[in-house]
Amino acid sequence: MISRKYTITLSVILLTAAAAFVANASGITIFGGSIFRDVNDGLVLDMSLAQSNYTSGTKTFADASGLGNNGIALVAASFAADNYDQSNGATSFTANNYVNVSSLYNTSFPQTAGSIAIWVYGDFSAQDMKAIFDDYDDTRKHIFIRGRSANNGLQIVVQDPVGGYLASSYPILENNKWSFVVVTFNNTTDKLNVFINGVLYSSNTITDGTWVPNAQRTVFAGTGNRFTGLISKVRIYNRDLSLGEVQALYRPRALGGSSLQAGLVGYWPLDANNYNATTGRVSDKTPYENHCTNNGATLTADRTGQANGAMDFNGSTSYLNCGNNNSLKITGNQTYAFWIYPRSFGSRRNPIDKAYGGEGTITLETSGAFNYYWGTGGGNTTPYTSVNSGAGLITNQWTHVALVRDLTNNRIVWYFNGAPVSTSTPSYGAAVASTNNLSIGDGYTSPIDGLMSDVRIYNRALSEAEIQTLYSAYRPKIMADSLQQGLIIDMPLTTDWTKSETAGSQIMTDKTPYSRDGQNNSATISSEGASFSGSANWVSIPYGAGIDPSVTPISFSMWVKPNVLTDAMFFSASYSPRLYFGVQGGDWEMGIQNSAWGAGPTDATTNWTHVVVTMDGVYANMYINGVYNHQKAYTAYNFLADFNVGRTQAGTYYFNGSVSNLKIYNRALSAAEVTSLYEKGR
């Protein structure tokens, strides 16, 4: 019998991650087209805890799912701003209130699979054992979510009267920040998955395969030891959401163009459409006409691979002089935002410079981190102060950077790729304007050695949601022909794409005109992909031997599903010197040239995962599910053999799992192209 899947989604928004989805009036869409099922499918509860969704006379919050699962507050609700800074968009819980959805108790709650999603805000160092969803009760089969001060975050548990904690997770949350938490369970796969801000935090096995939440209570903020903080939105599903669907829900709603135009006093795309090579003018697209004069910067491809979409600064003489119009003399709230691709950190360098003792200057330090300098000296003089970004950039990698000076709310915030990485308190009530010209790519230290694009300056403090929208919005559509450029092997590894029917020895079709067809060696081929048993089966591809990736950039893209997380390699061409990708110590890893694999930064799971490795001539960059993971440097060397899927080149280690949709390019894909490949799905 085929079991229905259920999903409980408790959405807690931590505005700290950034993904590639935007919301519009018709629902969740993805750049380049929709790839996920409707995120309203299976929705059994859709409840905003905003004042606009509350009837005070009956203390009722309405359910928008259409199923009438309304919630009743214990006492009159009070409200505060939500994760979008909307006034009265969230309910404030002060340990004297909760919201009860009695129609989703016991077996009325999804039983076979489900998802819980909630946006939550609080001081988790002071929330020890305080309930956010249901609560601890060792007499019932249920799931509960509560604060846990020991790990400054949450305790999420599948509880059973006999077995106790059948699965548990302890994610860390950032205090006094909105967090998006999603918990999914599936009793067919016996999995409890926890996502924080659109990222899979943990995948846990439910140790009793007969467990179902038949004594669940759907209560927000608990009935006993109650949560103190804010909750803005809760969704519950009768199926387990995919990672892509979780990320789609996490994305902040699209902000209208008028929002991101407000306060914009300088916008320089740094592309061919806004550069006159004859006059050297780099155009400002705002009405303030803060046009720059180019001094040696050249056009180059941007982060999406679009030709002439960015500018290259040589690290010694190139910069843009943008003048000193009154609109640039910003002494109050301020936002700087730009894309940057640094090639080196050997010297201190300025991507944006006005005055370090005045309106503000950004310095890229030799550590890869930034300092923001500003002050009341009225120029490059004292007094001034600095605010460090904490986090640092990665060389040869595009990053969206934003600095927000929010004097109204007494904070200065750094953002990388839409996520806040550092918050500080301002030292002054206002800056003092200078007579210095604004420079892009240079300043009081040294010119940038690298690429920049899409530079913006605002005379106001952008919100976190607006920063995330800027990060997500600067993604020109990756056209289909872009992902065909340089494609030299396109092998689905499925039954629909074989050239012989003899099981175990099929010819695996390469869809490109090069017809580099693979040879199956005892792997099981199905509509899902090639399945490997961990012993003596693989697919060989007649290409790869002799390639020097320092001369010939190359990219590998494939979907991988390990059956076990023991050490194994699912793709290889060379063992010493190395080219192999696999699972090592439970993490996604790669061996490159003389760099053996070690402990990668991301845990592997037994779910289908998109793995990409790009080799640009200097660095091998690994991406997991469309997101940059880590890199390894290499120099000149040759692959010793042709490519093998499912084992090492020498046949020493075999993979236990499945691989599908293998693509190989004779160029290094951009980060945006990697994300686009992931969003296309399997």
CA–CA distance, 134 with 199 (Å, rounded to integer): 23
The residue to which tokens 């999804």 are assigned: 110
Which residues are within 8 A (CB) of 479 and not within 5 positions of it... i.e. 6 or more apart? none
Domains and CATH numbers, the chain: 9-24+40-122+170-206+227-250 (2.60.120.200), 258-473 (2.60.120.200), 482-680 (2.60.120.200)
Calculate the alpha carbon distances from 196 to 22, 88, 422 in Å: 18, 24, 19
Which residues are within 8 A (CB) of 135 and not within 5 positions of it... i.e. 6 or more apart? 144, 146, 217, 219, 222, 223, 224, 225
Q: Which residues, given as ranges, of the chain have pLDDT below 50?
A: 1-37, 252-258, 475-480
> Which pLDDT value is given to residue 482?
66
Residues in the chain: 682
Q: Cis before residue 577, ω within 30 degrees of 0?
A: yes
Strand bridging mode 554-562 / 656-665: antiparallel
- Which value, in Å, is the radius of gyration of the alpha carbons in the chain? 27
> Which pLDDT value is given to residue 27?
31
The C-alpha torsion from 265 through 389 and 353 to 366, rounded to 10°, is -150
* Residue 407: Cβ within 10 Å count: 17
**Could you read off the pLDDT of 550-604 as tens digits, one per residue?**
888 999 999 999 998 887 888 888 778 888 899 888 889 999 988 877 667 778 8
> Which pLDDT value is given to residue 677?
85
> Which pLDDT value is given to residue 21?
31
- 373 φψ region: left (φ > 0), alpha (ψ -120 to 50), beta (else): beta
Phi, psi of 316 (to 5 degrees): -135, -45
> Which pLDDT value is given to residue 32?
29
The C-alpha torsion from 137 through 143 and 146 to 151, rounded to 10°, is 110
The secondary element (H helix, E strand) that includes residue 260 is helix 257-261
> Which pLDDT value is given to residue 599?
63
CA–CA distance, 460 with 144 (Å, rounded to integer): 41
> Which pLDDT value is given to residue 473?
66
Using an 8 Å Cβ cutoff, are 361 and 373 in contact? yes
Quote the strand ranges of 81-141, DSSP E.
90-94, 99-100, 113-121, 131-133
Using an 8 Å Cβ cutoff, are 454 and 336 in contact? no
Amino acid at 168: S
Residues pairing with 562 in the sheet: 657
Q: Write 484-489 long-range contacts (CB < 8 A, 24+).
A: 485/665, 485/667, 486/555, 486/665, 486/666, 486/667, 487/512, 487/663, 487/664, 487/665, 488/512, 488/514, 488/516, 488/543, 488/664, 488/665, 488/666, 489/514, 489/516, 489/541, 489/543, 489/662, 489/663, 489/664
